[in-house]
A and B are shown apart, each in its own frame.
Chain A
Amino acid sequence: MSVSRYRSQLRQSAAERRAETHPLTWRLGEDGAMVGLGEYLDKDGYVAARKVLNHQSPDDVVATMKDANVRGRGGAGFSAGMKWSLTMKGQDIPRGYLVCNADEMEPGTFKDRLLLEQLPHLLIEGMIIGGYANHSRFGYIFLRGEYVEAARALARAIDEARAAGWLGNDIADSGYDFDIALHTGAGRYICGEETALINSLEGNRANPRAKPPFPGQSGAWGKPTVVNNVETFCNAPAVMLHGARWYQDLSGELSNDGGTKLYGVSGKVAMPGLWELPIGTSGSELLERAGGMRDGRALKAWLPGGGSTGFLLPEHLDAPLDFDTIGELGSRMGTGLLTVVNEDQSVLSLVRNLEQFFARESCGWCTPCRDGLPWTVKILQALEHGEGERGDLEMLDKLGGDLGPGKTFCAHAPGAAMPLQSALKYFREEFERGVVHPPRAAHADPIPVGVV
């Protein structure tokens, strides 16, 4: 009996991954080792950065990113080129900051870990390009504290890049100065929210900030600040090297979004894992690559991209996994890493688990989130124990709405509402089974059910 150390792993052979089709992962070998500076340079590393810094204007870079339609891979799917075009730049505007959101904590998501641990130079190159496009003077990689291995890899890669002149003053004789510091966090999921992340970077409690002003106008220390996800930055070098058209074509007819995506599957499947595939690949193909459901159990439901996305059904598996299509189905693509639920597993219990997570991780800044989430958890726990009261489901419906978009300071509570509302829609009878009369112990602590 032995327990193995966790190692991030791509479930795709090196033979399947080529530079023309797998811009994120083609440099990776089979051994899961970090691609160091020497190997990275041998494999066209920093070629895109050199090209951009010496032959393109920042506006060219932004235009190419826009044309390529690289949509934010952290889960929101906002066009990276559009975001970069909105950053305040100019002679009289101070040069601001570029921040990489490496605070990967979305339940069910393990994609950025791979890039951070094994391809840190790809991220650094993407950040150099992003920094140049956004007139930034300095970059931070905001890394969650638990990613110890990633911290080691990044520290080494930053040192290597600095020693080789890829960070610091006058990068590649272009006159552009840019450096990066690694900032490690100390827990709390809310740090992944863009403005909460900036507060945390500044050494404050990670409460979100009001928008506007958007970070591109006034972010870290009041300067223009651009925050992008790890995978988003990692797409930039190939886009700059091969162009927007090539990137768009990677997804072919599958999707209007461009490029590839790190997709994954976890839960009780035969071979959980991670794959780089064209954006718009279907859930059924992912499930097939994951070897299907474990122990021959049937698929009951799935989350398309983390805990803050809505449940979908087996009938939705053939839909292309891209931001628009999954949005039209009433969910969100989120991070694109599927969590599957089998026929033996309770959606009610899973929702209780998810809401407990969101309740614990609420920063407490605004009332619907701070109070609404624990309230939701109490009702779900009661239902789970068969101690629910009449009116509980209606209260959950109401809480779901009151936690929704526009009612709270940031997207944390709306994210929590998504699995709740979709579970109530698709699996209502599971919740109804938890309602009994007369009420029992769960309601000894009076919850004002049904009176609001």
Chain B
Amino acid sequence: MTETARQITSDGDGFILADEDRQAIEHERDHYEQPQAACIEALKIVQRRHGWVPDAAIPVIAEVLGIGPASVEGVATFYSLIFRQPVGRHVILVCDSSSCFLNDYDELLEALSARLGIGLGQTTEDGRFTLLPVCCLGACDRGPALMVDDDTYGPVAPDDVATLLEGYA
């Protein structure tokens, strides 16, 4: 590590909020009566750029919104779609709710795990995929369903998994 890098690390752990993101957060803030309300959106803005929300981003977001870091941290640890550790380039959300469960979700999960070599909550070694469970995706008429990033698929048969994942490099 270079001397400069070490200085940045000690001074805010190296997290730098992009100007564009700062502006986006400030824009969101104006939609509400109080700045706290933009907190979830701010976390999502940071996550869109970095893939996840590092600890060091919390005080920076708090500063932009003019609220305490604990108010941001409390929110960041509550919501399931805010990731607090690095995730893969693509996040797979597998619906594990009742209708998908009744439509052989177990077999789909098994096929995904076998193909990726990971279980729920894990990331592949090459950093390509993270596999997570998700609440009913509202695709029950086409279960079992899953999302890869912003795309929803269903029904997904175990045999479809390989082809499906090929589309995400």
Contacts and interface: CB of A to CB of B under 8 A. Distances in A.
A146 B36 CA distance: 22
B40 interface: yes
B36 A203 contact: yes
B66 interface: no
A148 B36 CA distance: 24
Interface residues of A, number: 62
Nearest to A114: B138
A110 B38 contact: no
Contacts of B98: 107-108, 303, 307, 339, 350, 353-354, 357
A272 B142 contact: yes
Interface residues of B, number: 53
A181 B32 CA distance: 9
A345 B102 CA distance: 8
B147 interface: yes
Interface in B119-146: 133-143, 145
A350 B40 CA distance: 33
Interface stretch (A37-45, A118-126, A184-192): A184-192
B145 A107 contact: no
- For the complex, would chain B's binding face be called helix, strand, loop or mixed by DSSP majority? mixed
A148 B48 CA distance: 14
B102 A189 contact: no
A112 interface: yes
A230 to B, nearest CB: 11
Contacts of B151: 5
A273 B141 contact: yes
A268 interface: yes
Given A187-B80, A266-B103, A307-B97, 5 more contacts: A105-B135, A185-B40, A186-B44, A204-B74, A205-B74
21 contacts: A2-B160, A3-B157, A4-B153, A4-B154, A9-B141, A112-B138, A147-B138, A181-B31, A185-B40, A186-B43, A187-B80, A188-B135, A189-B135, A202-B37, A203-B35, A203-B40, A203-B75, A268-B102, A339-B99, A350-B101, A353-B98
Interface of A: 1-6, 9, 104-110, 112-113, 145-149, 181, 183-189, 200-206, 220-221, 264-268, 272-274, 303, 307, 337, 339-341, 345, 349-350, 353-354, 356-357, 360-361, 363
